[in-house]
Structures are given as C-alpha cells and as structure tokens.
Structure 1
C-alpha cells in the first residue's frame, strides 16, 4: 500500500492515475480523508510550487501536478461525504476588463485550489463591478487580478477604487500579476501585493490571509 509520502511524490510526478489509485488505497485501508489531503496531497503540491520557483519545474509539469492533486482531493472529498473541508481562505480571481489572457491566471487558480484555498474564478475581461459583487457574495478575503496588456493595467486601479468607495477595502486584500505588472505598479495603485509567477502567488496569498 502507498504511504502518504509516496502519495506526495506521485503528486510531484503529476501522474493522475497513480495519484487516484494511491489515494483510493489509503482511503480503503481506513486512513482519515483529511489526513490524506493534509499530509499526502498538499505537501506534494507545496513541493511542486517550491521547485517551480527554483526553476526546477515548468508550467506544463506544474499543471499536471495540480490536476493530479485535484483528482486525489475529489476522492478524499467523497469519503468525507459532504463534510466541509477547512479552507485556507476565499479568493476571487479574474483577468481585468479588456484583457482576454488567462493561462497564467488559470495556473494560479489551480495552484491556489491545490493549496487549500476556495477559489472563485470569474474568467477574463472582468469589469470592476463584477469583482465587487463576487467579493460580497462569497465573503472573500483576497482578490487576485491579472493583466497581460499595459493598456488594461489601469482596470486594476478601478477595482481598488470601487472597493474603497464601497467600504470594502479594509476587509479584502488585493494581489496583482501579469507580464507588464511590477511591484512598483502595485505600490502605485495601492495593491497589497504583487507576484511574478504562480509559485510566488501562492506564498503571497498565504501571507495576505
């Protein structure tokens, strides 16, 4: 039978079928479902994030690992029978208005979900009022915004301005990212943080909540 350490290694290797098989083995043997998630699946994806930051893993491998982890979590959730899995925090994700790029945003959303966050992905070309409505509806602690065009970056400030106007700014953290985005820009518009890549985004989100 697979051990929790072996399950973590399978997540790192990104083998969906083997992760599912090992997760099922552990659950069938009576292992606690939350323990399987917290001590097998999550350590695996955390290691993937670390290796990505060190340049030892690349985006396609990271996406495979995130999908493998997700498959394992789904099996563990079935065993929990609808019991609420403790969440690391609620995050609203979206690419800002006028921008249709989503690969980086999707990767961050997958990695956040894999790290125990409850992610609401609003997709691309998201207007400021839609971000605000989602924060209210889901009682989110963090907004993650992406922009790949310099022309759409000002839309990030519009969201922050609307949060302030709506009296929500103190209750929600804002992190931003995307190719043209910088820490200086984050400081300029009053965002709480900037992440250069998915690995850093996960660390930043953990700090913000």
Structure 2
C-alpha cells in the first residue's frame, strides 16, 4: 500500500471511523482497533456505544460470515483477538459506568477433554456480543461447574466436548443440577464436533450449538426469553 493511500484513523469522521473499525475487526487488525477505540473515547463516545456500535456490530458480521462458511476459524480467531484488544481498554470503563450487559455465561470443556479452540471461540464471540464470560478452561469435573455457578450466578452454563468418550459427562453435570433442584435456574448450552441436536435433547440441555455464531444467537434468544418470563412473573406478583 502506498503511503498516500494510508488511512489516518484520527482524520475520519465518527461514522467513517466506525465503518473502518468494522473492516479492521474483520481483518483482525488489533493495533488499529485499539487506536480507534481510544480516538472515540477522546471524542466523548461512551464505552457502551463503542462496544455496541463498533465492536459488537463488527463481530456480528464476522459471526455471520463464519456461519455461512465465508470465514474460517483462523480468521475468526484473529478478529476475536482484535476485539479483545478493544475490550481490554473498554472493560474497566464499562464496569465503572455500570453499562448494561446481555447476560453472564460460565463455560468450560468437560472432564477428560482438553480441547479448547471451539470453547475459546464461543467465549470470545459471546464477549463480542456483550456477555460477561467466565471461562473455566479444560477438563472440568461437576464440582468445578457447580462452584463457578454458585459463585458467579450466571444466566448460562456452556459445556463443550470434542471426544465421543467425554460427551456423556455433560449428562452427568445436567443430572447433578437436576438432583440439586437448580437445573431450571440456568440456560444450558452444549457444543462440540461429535454432538448433534438429538444428543443435546437426550441429555436435557436447552440447546445444542453447532458453532460459535449459533451459540451467540441461541444465547441471546434464551436470555431474552428468560428476562421476559421474569418480568411477567414480577408483574403477576405485583398485580
């Protein structure tokens, strides 16, 4: 690229800068995203507006193209990494301003399974959609899920497995939630290459998510449904 074609981010109007950020996210340009986030902050944008109008909007496009087979895992990881750069600047500011969150998710790979690329991708995309994500890592026994859920009180529990031998452990976790009488407190989403919808239904999960883009869409739907149900119950109680 010739020097005279170089885009000077600080010289762009707000709308053009947001558009450029979406392109930079798509291309996985972390340094450019960080610079643009700082420029918008200096211009008086709220952290929440930067998150939703630039970063989440950009990652939504990435998610759709990933779902449609236009982008592949390496490109999505690059985009998510660029998103993380922007989020690192915004996170402390969002906490200060008490910005609304979509919801909270605890996610982890199940016991006996050490695969985490898919799980990491879901975590990044969920953060990109405005969810707070607590990542428990790999090889999680029932106890570590239970502890995290008690400590974090999430809306969603996400479990992933990449081996046919570890898939059944998801049922162990769900059965334990049922035994403890807390299964209905959480939205349970499962995913991983060997799984399918039928398996998700059979073990009592709320939904099976084919990939990270589907996980985000499913999470949004279920959380909205949960909020509507809670609001309805509160109204009924008040009335």
**TM norm structure 2:** 0.83
Correspondence for 2:237:
none
What do residues 135-182 of structure 1 show as CA deviations (whole Å, max 9, x unaligned)? 111011111111111111111001111111111111101111111111
Instruction: Summarize the alignment of residues 1-209 of structure 1 with structure 2, pairs less than 5 Å apart.
Output: 1-2=11-12, 3-79=17-93, 82-209=96-223
What do residues 42-100 of structure 1 show as CA deviations (whole Å, max 9, x unaligned)? 10001100010111111111111111112112223455573333211111111111111
**TM norm structure 1:** 0.94
CA distance in 1, matches of 2:95, 2:132: 18
CA offset at residue 37 of structure 1? 1.2
Q: Larger C-alpha radius of gyration, 1 or 2?
A: 2
Runs of 5+ consecutive residues of structure 2 not aligned to the other structure: 1-10, 224-239
Q: Flag the 1:61–1:174 CA change in 2: closer, same or farther, 3 A.
A: same
Runs of 5+ consecutive residues of structure 1 not aligned to the other structure: none
Q: Flag the 1:122–1:79 CA change in 2: closer, same or farther, 3 A.
A: closer
How many residues were matched structurally? 209
CA distance in 1, matches of 2:144, 2:93: 35
CA offset at residue 15 of structure 1? 0.3
After superposition, the CA RMSD in angstroms is 1.4
CA distance in 2, matches of 1:34, 1:130: 32
